[in-house]
Amino acid sequence: MLQVTDLTKYYNGQPVFSGFDLHLPAGRFQVLLGPSGCGKTTLFNTLTGVTPKDAGTITWQGEPVPHLGDLCAYMHQKDLLLPWFSLMDNALLPVRTRGGDMAAAQDRAGQLFLRLGLGGYESHRPDQVSGGMRQRCALVRTLMFNRDLILLDEPLSALDAITRQRHQHLLLLLQTEFGKTILMITHDVDEALLLADDIFLLTPMPMAIFRRFSPEPAKPRAFDDPKLLHTKAGILDHLEKGGVS
Ligand SMILES: Nc1ncnc2c1ncn2[C@@H]1O[C@H](COP(=O)(O)OP(=O)(O)OP(=O)(O)O)[C@@H](O)[C@H]1O
Ligand SMILES: [Mg+2]
């Protein structure tokens, strides 16, 4: 579905990444795991055209494109909900800005609110709900873009450990229930192990993939699965050796 070849991005004359390659087949859940500041968000911004690439090709469904732009839904590291809008209005923003059948969109958003445990909070403003609810709302908005590919930049980073575990299963639903292809950034090894078909370990800047893991047991997975624990030990070992925190 997505092929990235030789992607290169410089900031202030320094390569954030140079010759970066990535292949993401349709339906797969891939996770990028790397140290703070290595260039993960910059990669997403470059892929989506938020910031221009300096070199390389991005191929979408076999066709080269300048960037993914509207071809994917991009959930940013910060939830970027508009504070003066209700949760429902925030969720409907993609439809408001792009146009489309508003009644059908409201219907769909209402169902997603229920599915993600936000039923009854449609008219609350973001500052009237918890961080976890804001992130679920951002997830609904991401789904409202109705794209096959979703880029998630640390979607659960604002949550405490317990809420985070609950939400990890919601992210899995994106793949299993909504059939999305997902590229996700996280710092959390357990989260990566629970969700990913492929985990890519990244070096510090200039960012490159130095190891790939494809955890074995079928999903949904349990944290205490022996195969998963074995993969986790391998990942932690590589993170230590690779100087990646
Ligand atoms: N707009 C910008 N202009 C100049 N340098 C930038 C810009 N955005 C990011 N950088 C630099 O690029 C490098 C990579 O930043 P980036 O935000 O991509 O890292 P990250 O891997 O997403 O980090 P984190 O895990 O903390 O979110 C950093 O050194 C950062 O300071
Ligand atoms: Mg980042």
CA of 220 to the centre of ligand 1 (A): 33
Q: Which two tokens stand for residue 90?
A: 């925030």
Residue 100 carries which side chain, given as an amino acid letter? G
pLDDT for position 168: 87
The C-alpha atoms of residue 161 and residue 158 are separated, in whole angstroms, by: 10
| Residue 163 CB neighbours (<10 A) | 17
Nearest-atom index, ligand 1, CA of 51: 1
**Residues flanking ligand 1, CB < 6 Å:** 11-12, 16, 34, 36-42, 77, 205
| Residue 21 CB neighbours (<10 A) | 13
The burial class, CB within 10 Å (0-12 / 13-18 / 19+), for 224 is exposed
Q: Which ligand places an atom closest to the C-alpha of 42?
A: 1
Q: Does pLDDT of 245 surpass 50? A: no
Q: Which ligand places an atom closest to the C-alpha of 33?
A: 1
Pair type for strands 149-153 and 181-186: parallel
Q: Does pLDDT of 201 surpass 80? A: yes
Closest residue by Cα to atom 18, ligand 1, is 39
Nearest-atom index, ligand 1, CA of 44: 18
Pocket test for ligand 1, best of 8, 31, 38, 153 (most atoms within 8 A of CB): 38
Nearest-atom index, ligand 1, CA of 12: 4
Please name each of the domains of the chain with its CATH number.
2-241 (3.40.50.300)
The C-alpha atoms of residue 156 and residue 78 are separated, in whole angstroms, by: 10
Convert the pLDDT of each residue in 152-195 to its tens digit. Answer: 999 888 778 887 887 888 889 889 988 999 999 998 999 999 99
- The pLDDT confidence band at residue 244, using thresholds 50, 70 and 90, is very low
Pocket test for ligand 1, best of 41, 185, 187, 209 (most atoms within 8 A of CB): 41
CA of 112 to the centre of ligand 2 (A): 27
Q: Which ligand places an atom closest to the C-alpha of 36?
A: 1
Mean pLDDT for the chain overall: 92
Comparing C-alpha atoms, which of 3, 4, 29, 22 is closest to residue 181?
A: 29
The C-alpha atoms of residue 164 and residue 81 are separated, in whole angstroms, by: 19
Convert the pLDDT of each residue in 48-105 to its tens digit. Answer: 999 999 999 999 999 999 999 989 999 887 777 999 999 999 999 989 988 889 999 9
Kindly report the pTM of this predicted structure: 0.92
The C-alpha atoms of residue 13 and residue 102 are separated, in whole angstroms, by: 46
Q: Which ligand places an atom closest to the C-alpha of 9?
A: 1
